[in-house]
Structure 1
Amino acid sequence: MASILDYSDEPRFNINSVAKLTSMQPVTIRAWERRYQLVVPKRAANGYRLYSERDIAILRWAKRGVEQGYPISTVNSQLKDAIKKNAWPEAVLNDKSTVAVHPARTINRSELVQNFTKALIRHDERMSSDLFADALGSLKLADLFESILIPALVDIGDRWERGEIGVATEHFASQFIQTKIMAIYQSLPLHPSCPKLIIGCAPDELHEIGPMMLAILLRDAGYKVEYLGPDLPLDDLLIYVREEMPKMLILSATMKASAEDMIRFSEKLSGLKPSVAFGFGGAAFILFPDLQLKIDGHYLGPSISESIKKINNLFPLKNK
């Protein structure tokens, strides 16, 4: 998980914006500045305070400590000590129900998956949110995705196919998880000076949770990631890639027809100068493995963790 240090220190936000982003009162923010120098905003030409993304991350982290029962003076001392040791804390996400911390206890993953699945099937948003926050606070992101969220989604999908639940319930579960993980994606630092990766779904592909998870883990690892979403028109995508020239374009396909669309597209992409690497994956390439050899690019493997390893090998990050 990204540390507070990973966030930009460029002053950009006024105090009202910071108050909304942190769910704090402006008077509390000013008090923490004045009494503890928790954050030290810059001043704009008009005299207004301007805060950075790092200031916001610090305030979120301090707020969570206070919510957990620690005095703000203690939280401030912990932060200052950590900074002196160059051991910046991990960042708190912008979903106020979730926080990134080192695992504090062992959880029963099988039991958590069962309870989370049951809550989603009941459309119990509050319980689902509590269980999601519990998992996020106890697991690394990759473990959260591969040992909790994906098994829950698979179970719900199987129940829908067997006629045990309706399409509304399957959509509720998918949308709930998608919304939660998008909040994580948007909370992570952008890494503007690192290798850029563009990620999305092939034409007619609407199943985007998998590629979204990949985008989150790559951004968390330190890459500059741009996630474009589902059902990308390939002709327009080629124009955009030619303009942006990322290090790699990554597309996901669960349907055979969508995967086959990538064959011709990969040939066009390979003609770009300078070259842009093409990565691909998804259920279609597991069900129809012969397609892996027909695409001019890098098959990233059957799992998210394997995809991360292959991308790390292709584009190693400096100082990581």
Structure 2
Amino acid sequence: MNVFTIKDLENLSGIKAHTIRIWEQRYNFLKPCRTESNIRYYCSEELKTILNISLLNKYGYKISHIDKMSEQELRSKIISLTDTEARQERLVNELIAHMIDLNVERLEQVLDKYVLMYGIDRAITQIIFPFLHRIGILWITNHIQPAQEHLVSNIIRQKLVVGIEGAMPVRQVERTLLLFLPEGEHHELGLLYVHYLLRSHGVKVLYLGADMPLKDVEFVCKYKRPDFLYTHLTGIAGNFSLEKFISQVSQRVPDIPLVISGQLARAHSKKVPSGINFKRSLSEVLEFVASLG
């Protein structure tokens, strides 16, 4: 059984933990369990409930009104939302629910239907990336089972690869980036999304993938001379030190700038050395890709 903290609910729904606590006191739709030390925790059904309620609340329904709805009425109201962003957010919530339930068939059906209707490019941008962004924190904190992560990752990976292979940029950019994840980092989906963005923009990509020793990165740099190194750090097990990693890259490949995005980049607060570029949000990543030409 999945167990979620109030912080997980906040990250996934966008509703502040303080507000969730108030709703628990005033309304009946959330009933968290508590540990022996009186710490709240939530089950899968409560996570799905807060996702649905936060969506309706965001698009104009009062909480006091939502609290009186039956489960069937709640679902009906969500399906009836006509705003484009609301529909996209509803689909992202469905993907999260299917992942939690291990319903990989329904998850893939949601993706395939969207791809069929709008194309792989819009599917990646409008629902796959938002889905990855919202569930990334669960992967880092181990609040979903490894089996759930691997099943979903493999499906999403297939869609991203289709998008990468089918990318048809308007023009080619005379820049080359080498993409890799350091040893111990196996969360590849963020890097594949960056690969998709670069290919769509016409940038040449050397893709090394996950769990890559720096000696191999150095070897490729020696012969291919990319303009940038790029890595996307989600969460590395063990005693990984970002400062040590940066230092080692700078020593092995001193003349090629390194770009770092992902959860570890967002959390980094120390001074950034020369030649190292942190991209702490999707907008910064998109600006960087656009700046390449």
Same fold (TM over 0.5): yes
Superposed CA deviations along residues 112-141 of structure 1, whole A, max 9, x for unmatched, are 112112222333333212211344444364
- Counterpart of 2:66 in structure 1 is none
Kept in 1, the 8 Å contact 2:111–2:123? The answer is no
1:304 and 1:267 map into 2 onto residues whose CA distance is 28
What is the SS of the residue equivalent to 1:308?
helix
Kept in 2, the 8 Å contact 1:196–1:247? The answer is yes
Q: 1:269 aligns with which of 233, 243, 253?
A: 253
Superposition map of 1:10-159 within 5 A: 106=84, 108-136=87-115, 137-138=117-118, 139=122, 141-151=124-134, 153-154=135-136, 157=139
How much has 1:173 moved relative to structure 2? 1.8
Kept in 1, the 8 Å contact 2:178–2:229? The answer is yes
Quickly say closer, same or farther: Cα 1:169–1:270, change in 2 above 3 A: same
2:113 and 2:281 map into 1 onto residues whose CA distance is 24
1:218 and 1:287 map into 2 onto residues whose CA distance is 24
Q: Does 1:237 align with 2:220?
A: no
1:192 and 1:241 map into 2 onto residues whose CA distance is 21
How much has 1:205 moved relative to structure 2? 1.0
Q: Which moved more, 1:134-143 or 1:217-226?
A: 134-143
- Counterpart of 1:302 in structure 2 is 280
Superposition map of 1:157-306 within 5 A: 157=139, 161=143, 165-189=144-168, 194-253=174-233, 254-255=235-236, 257-259=240-242, 260-271=244-255, 276-290=256-270, 293-294=272-273, 296-299=275-278, 301-306=279-284
Q: Which structure 2 segments of 5+ residues have no match?
A: 1-82
TM-score (norm 2): 0.59
How much has 1:206 moved relative to structure 2? 0.9
Kept in 1, the 8 Å contact 2:258–2:276? The answer is yes
Kept in 1, the 8 Å contact 2:197–2:289? The answer is no
What do you get for the CA RMSD once the two structures are aligned?
2.9
- Counterpart of 1:52 in structure 2 is none
1:239 and 1:148 map into 2 onto residues whose CA distance is 35
Which segments of structure 1 move beyond 6 Å, counting only runs of 4 or more?
A: 190-193
Kept in 1, the 8 Å contact 2:201–2:289? The answer is no
2:232 and 2:127 map into 1 onto residues whose CA distance is 20
Q: Which structure 1 segments of 5+ residues have no match?
A: 1-104
How much has 1:200 moved relative to structure 2? 1.3
Q: Which amino acid aligns with 1:179?
A: Q
Number of residues of Structure 1 aligned to a counterpart in Structure 2 = 201
Matched residues, percent identical?
Answer: 19
Kept in 1, the 8 Å contact 2:178–2:228? The answer is yes
How much has 1:156 moved relative to structure 2? 5.3
1:219 and 1:311 map into 2 onto residues whose CA distance is 10
Kept in 2, the 8 Å contact 1:247–1:277? The answer is yes
1:158 and 1:257 map into 2 onto residues whose CA distance is 14
Kept in 2, the 8 Å contact 1:185–1:216? The answer is yes
How much has 1:142 moved relative to structure 2? 2.9
Quickly say closer, same or farther: Cα 1:155–1:302, change in 2 above 3 A: closer
